[in-house]
Amino acid sequence: MRENGPQDWSGFLEELHRVKVYLERSRPTAVNLSAALDRIEVCCQAMSSNTRPEEGLKFLLNEAGRLEAEDQLFCERIAAFGQGIIPARARILTHCNAGALATAGIGTALGIIGRARASGKDVEVFADETRPLLQGSRLTAWELQRRGVRVTLICDSMAAWTMKERGINLVLVGADRIVANGDTANKIGTYGLALLAEQHRIPFYVAAPVTSFDLKTANGRQIPIEERPPAEITSCGGRPVAAAGVRVYNPAFDVTPGKLVSAFITDRGIIRPPYDLESFRRAFV
């Protein structure tokens, strides 16, 4: 916005919309970013046509600060409400990263875990490495170590055996989008964990702020699933690890049916089944 330097308010709004569309395309599955961008654009559109571009830039920075503060508060509230699902001796399996590196605050799923550890609970976490980009090994394991939480890294394919042999008593993940029937989009591999948790009779929890809920979308079939470049799978650290020219299917997210989710831990409290539009609306009042 600064670099292109629109000369009047009309030009500012045009440039703002261009940037908004560009950013939205970077994260088509997650709803938080598009919701925040919509909020900013609507506010700017409601401002006087005599507004100077420099005033608009100041508003954007201030609004970004408000969004940051809101997210920090959401994380704190999720961490507080989430203590109700963490037993005194917790063996937790998590997937991808839902911590400080993914939020403006202490994180959602990892915020709950960190608060439980700080309160004196006996907490151990088993973190999926989360192929293909290894967010679990690169980010989650690192965050948990820094928080003093015992963490064991496992390959994604080890989750079922770990549930069976290591006494896992809950699965806790974040979310990129939750729709009106409880269907939940999250990092690829989450759906498989939910199925495994059901098989092993382990509760499967999703931690997310109200900004991750998309109640305009009826079900998970309507969630756009981002697909990423084949090189994420065929190479590692810049080195080829697959047969040259092999075909690749690389969806970055999957959708877990709401019926597999034991509860949503949100900044408004814990929401349990049944999940539908009205029950979510009542919870968010």
The string of pLDDT tens digits covering residues 41-73 is 999 999 998 999 999 999 999 999 999 999 999
pLDDT in tens, 74-85: 999 999 999 999
Q: Are residues 94 and 59 in the same domain?
A: no
Q: Are residues 176 and 261 in the same domain?
A: yes
Q: Is residue 2 domain-resident?
A: no
What pLDDT is recorded for position 73? 98
Q: Are residues 45 and 132 in the same domain?
A: no
Q: How confident is the model at residue 6 (pLDDT cuts 50, 70, 90)?
A: confident
Which domain-ending residue is among 33, 52, 76?
76
What pLDDT is recorded for position 187? 98
* Residue 121 DSSP SS3: coil
Cα angle 153-128-191, degrees, rounded to a multiple of 5: 165
Q: Are residues 255 and 149 in the same domain?
A: yes
Q: How confident is the model at residue 285 (pLDDT cuts 50, 70, 90)?
A: confident
Number of structural domains found in the chain: 2
Domain boundaries, position 70: 9-76
Which domain-ending residue is among 76, 104, 133?
76
Q: Are residues 44 and 130 in the same domain?
A: no
Alpha carbons 159 and 191: distance in angstroms, whole number: 12
Q: Are residues 92 and 165 in the same domain?
A: yes
pLDDT in tens, 18-40: 999 999 999 999 999 999 999 99
What pLDDT is recorded for position 1? 62
What pLDDT is recorded for position 4? 65
Under DSSP, the state recorded for 88 is: S
What pLDDT is recorded for position 277? 94
Q: Are residues 224 and 259 in the same domain?
A: yes
Q: Is residue 248 domain-resident?
A: yes
Q: What is the average pLDDT across 186-199? A: 98
Q: Is residue 68 domain-resident?
A: yes
> What b/e sequence results for 237-250 when a residue is b if at least 16 CB atoms lie within 10 Å of its CB, and e otherwise?
eeeeeeeeeeeeee
Under DSSP, the state recorded for 107 is: B
Residue of 71, 128, 176, 214 marked active site? 176
Q: Is residue 14 domain-resident?
A: yes
* Residue 205 DSSP SS3: strand
What pLDDT is recorded for position 24? 93
What pLDDT is recorded for position 2? 64
Judge whether 23 and 30 are in contact, CB under 8 Å: no
User: Does 7 have pLDDT greater than 90?
Assistant: no
Q: Are residues 164 and 274 in the same domain?
A: yes
| Mean pLDDT taken over the chain | 96
Q: Are residues 41 and 118 in the same domain?
A: no
User: Does 237 have pLDDT greater than 90?
Assistant: no
Q: Are residues 150 and 260 in the same domain?
A: yes
Query: Could you check whether the bond before residue 274 is cis, i.e. omega within 30 degrees of 0?
Result: yes
Q: Is residue 3 domain-resident?
A: no
pLDDT in tens, 135-190: 999 999 999 999 999 999 999 999 999 999 999 999 999 999 999 999 999 999 99
Structure tokens at 103: 């939020």
Q: Residue 261 sits in a domain of what CATH number?
A: 3.40.50.10470
CA atoms 189, 192, 197, 198: torsion sign: positive
Q: Are residues 176 and 258 in the same domain?
A: yes
Residue 276 annotated in active site: no
Nearest to 265 by CA among 195, 204, 183: 204
Q: Are residues 87 and 118 in the same domain?
A: yes
